[in-house]
A and B are shown apart, each in its own frame.
Chain A
Amino acid sequence: MSSIAIPRPRTYERPVVLDWLTTVDHKKLGILYLYTTMFFFFVGGTLALVVRTQLAVADNSFVGHDLYNQIFTMHASAMLFLFIIPVWAGFGNYIVPLQIGAADMAFPRINALSFWLVPPAGLLMFSGFLFGGAADAGWTAYSPLAQRSGTGMDLWIIAVILLGISSTIGAANFLVTMFRMRAPGMTMFRMPIFCWTVLVTAVLQLLATPVLAAALSMLYIDRNFGGAFFDPNGGGNAVLWQNVFWFYSHPAVYIMILPGMGIVSEVLPVFSRKPLFGYKAFVFATMGIGGLGFGVWAHHMFTTGAVLKPWFGFMTFMIGVPTGVKIFNWLGTLWRGSITFETPMLFALGFLSMFLIGGINGTFSAAVPVDFALHDTYFVVAHIHYVLFGGSVFAVFAGFYYWFPKIWGRRLNERLGQLHFTLMFIGFNLAFFPMHLLGLEGMPRRIATYSDSFNWQTLNFISTIGAFMIAVSTLPFLVNVVMAFSRPKDQPNDPWEANTLEWWTTSPPPVHNFDDVPEVHSERPLFDYRHGSAASH
């Protein structure tokens, strides 16, 4: 097989700290993203434990109503804006250039800027706790409520705008990288599926995030400079905020899940020893979800009475079709495979089952008359967590265990990985399944307390036990990572017998990524290398 030499960038010797602070290497930035976002995952998780402690028993006063509103607002803000969205940027940064056989991202300095906007934005958002209270109007910041919050709300707005800038320029960077820097022979339809999902995510970010930035700027003007865009008392329109917010935030839900689907679509074929079933259909389904994602925003607003309900109900149902196609593709990948159950596979299979529930329980809200009852209750809280935790977070860990040998050159312990998965899977279902029933029994979201007479006590208590079990499940994970770092870097290039180009180079890769890359003839260049192209059919 022929291979093509890659020109090497110049390298400079610098002190370690200065090197990490000034690096423009996509791999180091990727690692910085992963550390930062995992930090905020633990912060957001701690806030969730406060919420669950408060709700564990009826009429609790563990935290006051004021603090409770700040805590759940910051839980969601940290998890969505500072963990899930940037963690994909982290994986994307590290993996995409390697998967397409490039030496770096197209714009390394812009890449560094993308990352370095995240930590200050996070600090800004959380600094509200020091200045009279953090944002407390929910992560959706509905107006006019958001106009009546304290300084923390302004800090929140600025932080989210900064994060929006980060993901917008990051998206442009990913697109140019994938359009211009693919290895010889890698046509668009030979690109690894993870890259495809990052590509569609980047398009969504480019189209949707500026709308959020505009809306947030308008909210800031309303709050500080006497504007009245969203304030009916000044002639504005309260529902307008919801329209512009969800015009961003519904595509943002796909921004938060598509790369996770990409990771699962890398992991399932490797551990089934088969290609992804229906690669092209999968790509088109990803595009379909992205496209339809722009036509469903008002399904968050059925109970405002201010939207065209049948249209948005229909569009929301339709999004179930490409989602269903993906689930069948994954199932088709497992079918007649030769399946092994290493930790990345366990998390990918966890994703498959939990995201299946998250997809199905979402269709209830597409049926508008059913949504009248479910909207703003704990049923919806169950739904988002089945999608974003059962889906995205399980995919994050699948990716983490899968690429850990590549990124750090060491293998994570399988037993601890299995323990982590088992505890997290059980804890997750204990925490979030009862929320379906709580929602049906009429428990609204975002209430700081409930009365003993509502019979919500038992289910809430079970949910709290589940939440603490999730917290405990992260201990074997942390122990695993710490132990791995004490071992030597002994991983071969391709410990999993995987398919894509990141496994062609050393673990971890050199600064310039590849000494050479093989010519690409299919979406599985390493499979072709191991078995010859003929074996692939």
Chain B
Amino acid sequence: MPVSRVPRRFRQAAFLLAIALFAISSISLASAQSGQPAGITVEAHKMHDLWIFTLIVALVVFFGVEGAIVYALFRFRKKSDDLPPQTHGSTVVEIIWTTIPVVIVITLFTYAFIVLRDVENTADPQDLTVHVQGFQFQWGFTYDLNDLGTNTPDRNAKGQIVITGTPQDNPTLVIPVGEPVEFTLFSSDVIHSFYVRDFLYKLDVIPGRDNKFVVNPREIGTFHAQCAELCGLDHGIMRFTLKVVSRADFDKWVSEQKVTQPRAVQQAR
């Protein structure tokens, strides 16, 4: 028998209380400091909320199960040579602990499904479109002058603004805040992935496939971004800078850029 003056019931209660406190404090910690930046788009904030919710569920499950494991290891360590009761199982218990995970994962799936439908928007033809080209090992961003979003000065304007990076000189992608921006993704060599950490989103740039997505940036700032799919030698330095600016600053930026006339045929796909 264990040598202890504290009644077993109290020790158990203290142990469970400690676990509960630990769990609660980590949940509040998770909500305040979840490890993930909250993101800078309307979509990112919804996805971040899903992250927080999933993290809380995960922490509760982790501390519940890990707490039970640690408890069992202290409580049920060998004290005598007597054989412990040879329990082979319990149908009731097993049904309960199959049902609990089913409920948890269906809840998580439902929430995730709702968020998924919410964040995968299709573009309005009026929206600003940025054509993104990934190539070994940099990015190109092309804006059509007749497709600069709600505030497009001339819908019949011909010409493009083309920003192309080099490994020595990372390109800067400029977009306006507060309106939807559509990105169309294009590659003619290998698969890249267009990844802006603060969008909490990435989409692969796949040769032979037209991928596009829409975001609604809501914060002004400068952000780091880079390729997220291994694409060869200099994958690690295939970086670019994202600048989210006010509409006025965006228009000013547009007016300062060199305009090139589009080629008759887009680069070979």
Contacts and interface: CB of A to CB of B under 8 A. Distances in A.
A375 B231 CA distance: 15
A138 to B, nearest CB: 5
A305 B203 contact: yes
Interface string A226-244: 0000001100111100000
B228 A275 contact: no
A339 B89 contact: no
A328 B84 contact: no
Nearest to B190: A145
Contact of B209 (A239, A332, A437, A442): A239
Instruction: Give the contact-size bracket for chain A.
Output: 35 or more
B191 interface: yes
Contacts of B198: 442
B33 to A, nearest CB: 11
Given A145-B231, A367-B112, A369-B115, A440 B35 contact: yes
Contact of B229 (A372, A376, A442): A376
A370 B55 CA distance: 11
A375 B202 contact: yes
B78 to A, nearest CB: 4
Nearest to A275: B88
Interface stretch (A88-96, A213-221, A312-320, A460-468): A312-320
B215 to A, nearest CB: 11
B113 A360 contact: no
Interface in A364-420: 364, 366-370, 372-373, 375-377
Interface stretch (B98-106, B140-148, B149-157): B98-106
Interface stretch (B21-29, B234-242, B252-260): B234-242
Contacts of A373: 36, 47, 51, 197, 200-202
A250 B101 CA distance: 22
A144 B206 CA distance: 9
A320 B105 contact: yes
A450 B236 contact: yes
Contacts of A535: 83, 86
A331 B68 contact: yes
Interface residues of B, number: 85
A359 to B, nearest CB: 9
A335 B97 contact: no
Interface in A134-157: 137-138, 142, 144-145, 148
Contacts of B72: 331, 334-335, 337, 339
A267 B90 CA distance: 21
Contact of B233 (A66, A238, A451): A66
B61 interface: yes
A4 to B, nearest CB: 26
Interface stretch (A113-121, A199-207, A276-284, A476-484): A276-284
A87 B190 CA distance: 35
B76 A339 contact: yes
B128 interface: no
A337 B112 CA distance: 40
B197 A441 contact: yes
A436 B34 CA distance: 11
B105 A363 contact: yes
B15 interface: no
B50 interface: yes
Nearest to A59: B237
A531 B81 CA distance: 13
Q: Which residue, of B35, B88, B101, B104, has the highest number of chain A Cβ atoms within 10 A?
A: B88
A327 B65 contact: yes
A338 B82 contact: yes
B84 A370 contact: no
Contacts of B94: 278, 281, 325, 328
A440 B36 contact: yes
27 contacts: A65-B237, A66-B233, A142-B191, A148-B190, A148-B232, A232-B208, A233-B188, A279-B88, A280-B89, A310-B113, A320-B101, A331-B68, A337-B76, A339-B72, A356-B65, A356-B66, A356-B69, A366-B112, A367-B54, A367-B109, A372-B200, A372-B203, A373-B200, A375-B228, A376-B202, A377-B228, A442-B195
Task: Sort A-B residue pairs by CB-CB distance and give the 7 closest, nearest first.
Answer: A232-B208, A442-B197, A447-B236, A324-B101, A367-B112, A373-B200, A317-B105
Interface of A: 65-66, 68-69, 137-138, 142, 144-145, 148, 232-233, 236-239, 272-275, 277-281, 303-306, 309-310, 313-314, 317-318, 320-321, 324-325, 327-328, 331-332, 334-341, 349, 352-353, 356-357, 360-361, 363-364, 366-370, 372-373, 375-377, 436-437, 440-442, 444-451, 453-454, 531, 535-537
Interface of B: 34-37, 46-47, 50-51, 54-55, 58, 61-62, 65-66, 68-69, 72-73, 76-80, 82-90, 93-94, 97-98, 100-102, 104-106, 108-109, 111-113, 115-116, 119, 188-191, 193, 195, 197-198, 200-204, 206-209, 211, 213, 224, 226-237, 239, 269
